[in-house]
Structure 1
Amino acid sequence: MTPRSIIKAAEWTLTEETAEGVPRAIFRVGCVTCGAESESIDNEPDPVEIWALKHTGLNPTHRQFKLTTEWFWRVRPAPGNPYFELEKDNQAQA
Structure 2
Amino acid sequence: MIRTVIRSVAWTVRTDTTPDAPAQPLYEAECTTCGEMSGAEEGSRVGPEMWALIHTGKNPSHRSYKGAETTFWRVFPSDGSAVGDSSAEAAGGQ
Identify the TM-score tier after normalising by the shorter chain. 0.5 to 0.7
- Any runs of at least 4 consecutive aligned residues in structure 1 with deviations exceeding 6 A, and if so which? none
What secondary structure, in the 3-state scheme, does the structure 2 residue paired with 1:37 have?
coil
User: Which one has the largest radius of gyration?
Assistant: 1
Which position in structure 2 is the counterpart of 1:48?
48
TM-superposition CA deviations, 1:42-66 (whole Å, max 9, x none): 2222100111112112222211011
| Structure 1 counterpart of 2:82 | 86
Deviation at 1:9, TM superposition (A): 5.0
Task: Give the whole-Å Cα distance in 1 for the aligned partners of 2:74 and 2:37.
Answer: 28
1:61 match: secondary structure = coil
Structure 1 gap ranges (5+)? 1-7
Structure 2 residue runs of 5 or longer lacking an equivalent are 1-6
TM-score of the aligned structures, taking structure 2 as reference length: 0.67
TM-score normalised by length of structure 1: 0.67
- In structure 1, what residue type is equivalent to 2:25? A
Aligned length in residues: 81
Which residue pairs with 1:4 in the alignment? none
